[in-house]
Homo-oligomer: A and B are copies of this chain.
Amino acid sequence: MPNALEQAKALFVRRWGEMGGYWGINRTMAEIHALLFVTQEPLCTDDFMMQLKISRGNASMNLRALVDWGLIRRTHKLGDRKEYFQADTDIWHMFETILRERRRREIEPILETVEHCREIVSAPKTASQEDIDPEQVRALRRRLDELHSFLTTMGALFDLALHYGSDGMGKLARSLGVANEPRAADRGPTRTERPARKSRRAKPSSTERK
């Protein structure tokens, strides 16, 4: 019977893994990340293999993907040739990373398509298409416009979130309960840049697109 500490960790790892699916990452990847999150010391590939009961290949693939995402980073121990991994402890930064990725994958492509669709229906009629119901075209265009403006707003809010950082968001949430905040001229040192992510070996990112 594992002690309370281990029990809590295991529970967290399991649940975080299940949630992974909803966040666009697979279970194993999420579990690895969770394990790193609840463990302060850096862990090496063998640790993941044992604790999560996964193969070496699987561990390697998912560790790489996590590094590519920017959610964990490689570290080393003196006199040890193994690579160790460590999760970002800054939750806000973690969230930032995920948010950025999600926007790139969920909002940008559909925005592009909406724009493209608008072009198509806005192009001047050709002779062969004079039978298109102009009412239908107007209706479609209206919907596309609405969607476009909606997505733009959403994108802007993402930017906002990324820009303000955790403190800002907390404040924002609180102040919105009352009135609109007065255009923060004074936000503190908010992190916005990502830490430099260097791949050990140069390699065209393999974890693009699905």
Task: Mark A residues whose CB is within 8 Å of B.
Answer: 3-5, 7-9, 11-12, 15-16, 18-19, 21-24, 37-38, 40, 89, 91-92, 95, 102, 105-106, 109-110, 113-114, 116-118, 120-121, 123, 125, 128-129, 131-133, 136-137, 139-140, 142-150, 152-154, 156-157, 159-160, 164, 166, 169-173, 175-185, 210
Choice from B38, B146, B152 contacting A143 with Cβ under 8 Å:
B38
Q: In the docked arrangement, what's the CA distance between A170 and B207, Å?
A: 34
Besides the known contacts A5-B132, A19-B106, A171-B180, 13 further A-B residue pairs in the complex with CB atoms under 8 A apart? A3-B132, A4-B120, A9-B117, A11-B113, A19-B109, A22-B105, A40-B139, A92-B150, A145-B185, A149-B182, A157-B169, A172-B176, A176-B183
